Structure 1
């Protein structure tokens, strides 16, 4: 079993489709905050240039000697780089009918780790979309105290808490860690080197026959047991966001 930087507990697209069908299709899952802390002086204000944007070869970014002031035309937000965004919001980012996404694209072009700033700042400065945010990235991670740049590696000791968390994703895992086999066998019901079975797998089930050696309608949705916990977690997140106490503040 190879290492996963993150994985999906419910795994199947059918499970995700079932869980997300109970919430608004306009919801944007984006962990965000305007409390920049140390990131203001170390990430936002420094001017960086990534030569990889202009050259074919990979090179290290370099920093300007001076720092720029914080903008006053918009408020900067930051957060997790892992986001789940709605189609209407992404269309807004592409077509930019009020020019805000293009303005911010030029600004974050010189920001270190722009993926932790761009969408967060666009959505929270847009009157049309700021109330569609759900302040979560649907991931289970364990951090040092104080947190370092990367979360801790997860293992068997984290398994029960991972499963009970109701998260869709988790990271990070060491290569060939036994906990990955536990996920395969206990959650995904995957055996050997076979694919994780779904409702479309129609072959006779036995220890020597792969149920997915025959398949029927791939659009069949039959959610697994784990998706119930994920769906409950989604509902709680949406209910909390409706209070508007954690939206773009």
Structure 2
């Protein structure tokens, strides 16, 4: 159009240069239309298969309170999974593991990772800042160089490590950091489990996932009891400072001369630092749609052994999650009587008791203790340097396990470990056992039973 005296004027109608592009585009449109129509009636096996992205299907789980998006991809000309298999895949649980270690623990972390590995799960490895950079680089290169981990892409190493101080809140900061990564990357998982390099499984992931398939997804396994007695005096009243919050080298926490009053807006709880928490609950701790998780986190910044109290205090003071707690840490631990600060190291003499306990995990193990080889051989069926096999593993022609790719990772091959865990879960979810959760009862670690709490003077 031309502008004449401030007014836009169209070209004369006699200009016919638009006809050629018009007929060319019309010809192309007709050609594409014919190709589409003919393609609808052609054989699905003719030519190369075409990958189509199907609309996202969302499965709502009322017990969870959140939705899981499942992106479906179907290859034309290939068999499509039955509806029954799709439902089974959606219902099968997933676990997110955090495995932590410090200087000299990279090899132990590798072994624990191999022992608890399953392509359905997610794994985050944190080697704290005390470990030299070379050790962290070696651990990262191992994960990147493993063909299975590279294929499934479900193992991550935290590159920017945190300094973790024993007894300090930096341990909670490390755990919340890992959970934040899992949530930020929108990974699919139902429960969060934290393990250390000195932990080890007593059954396969097929055993554990099979049993968890029959449990409600809103149960939180966190051993807890109201804080009383010496813990109230030695942990709740002192004010501590963790140098790991502001220094780059590890130092012990130090205590101030001042004492503090106990909180009145929430009650204090204590228990095991080893937990299995639901996604819904840890989302609440991170995102906090009310201020309770943040208030309690600020309180535990100056609290001795905060990993043994933060999650416990949050869950027992929350109306939404209080009744979802089961006071058990799912670990076999051998304590002195009365219990000291650290548990006893486990060895071959504890093997039978570990198995009979029905616990899925145990701690603490010394580096390279022979009992770990016994667990690999008799309970996990794991070869040295290999991941624990399961139904998802392919097999070579000679029958040897080759866990290099996943086939139907939502199907499990449970063994004797699943039977032991089912018996334990039957007890833990019983009304008799759960009556002690977030109540005035205390959990005796040596007797593995509830006892009435004793009144203590303040």
Q: TM-score, normalised by structure 1?
A: 0.90
Partner of 2:427: 236
Partner of 1:66: 258
Matches within 5 A, 1:78-97: 78-97=270-289
| Unmatched 5+ stretches in structure 2 | 1-106, 112-196, 440-458
Please state if 1:26 is matched with 2:218. yes
Comparing 116-125 and 191-200, the one that deviates more: 191-200
Encode CA deviations 1:54-85: one digit per residue, 9 max, x unaligned.
Answer: 23332322211011011111110000000111
Partner of 1:112: 304
Partner of 2:201: 8
Partner of 1:98: 290
CA contact (8 A) 1:44 1:112 kept: yes
Encode CA deviations 1:83-112: one digit per residue, 9 max, x unaligned.
Answer: 111111112112222211111011111001
| Unmatched 5+ stretches in structure 1 | none
Q: Which secondary structure state, in structure 1, belongs to the residue aligned with residue 240 of structure 2?
A: strand
How many angstroms does 1:205 deviate by? 7.1
Instruction: Measure the CA separation in 1 of the matches of 2:219 and 2:279.
Output: 10
Comparing 22-31 and 47-56, the one that deviates more: 47-56
More strand by share: 2
Partner of 1:184: 376
Comparing 30-39 and 215-224, the one that deviates more: 215-224
Please state if 1:51 is matched with 2:237. no
Q: CA RMSD in A?
A: 2.1
Partner of 1:224: 415
Encode CA deviations 1:162-202: one digit per residue, 9 max, x unaligned.
Answer: 10100011111222222111111111112344332221223
Q: Please point out which of 342, 346, 354 is paired with 1:162.
A: 354
Instruction: Measure the CA separation in 1 of the matches of 2:249 and 2:325.
Output: 37
Q: Please point out which of 391, 402, 411 is paired with 1:212.
A: 402
Q: 1:213 to 1:81 in 2, by over 3 A?
A: closer
Structure showing greater relative contact order (alpha-carbon pairs closer than 8 Å, 6 or more residues apart):
1
Encode CA deviations 1:99-137: one digit per residue, 9 max, x unaligned.
Answer: 111110111110011111111001101111100000100
Aligned residue pairs total: 245
Q: Which secondary structure state, in structure 1, belongs to the residue aligned with residue 204 of structure 2?
A: coil
Instruction: Measure the CA separation in 1 of the matches of 2:393 and 2:287.
Output: 41
Instruction: Measure the CA separation in 1 of the matches of 2:362 and 2:202.
Output: 8
Q: 1:166 to 1:240 in 2, by over 3 A?
A: farther
Please state if 1:248 is matched with 2:445. no
Comparing 51-60 and 228-237, the one that deviates more: 51-60
Instruction: Measure the CA separation in 2 of the matches of 1:66 and 1:202.
Output: 62
Of the two, which has the highest radius of gyration? 2
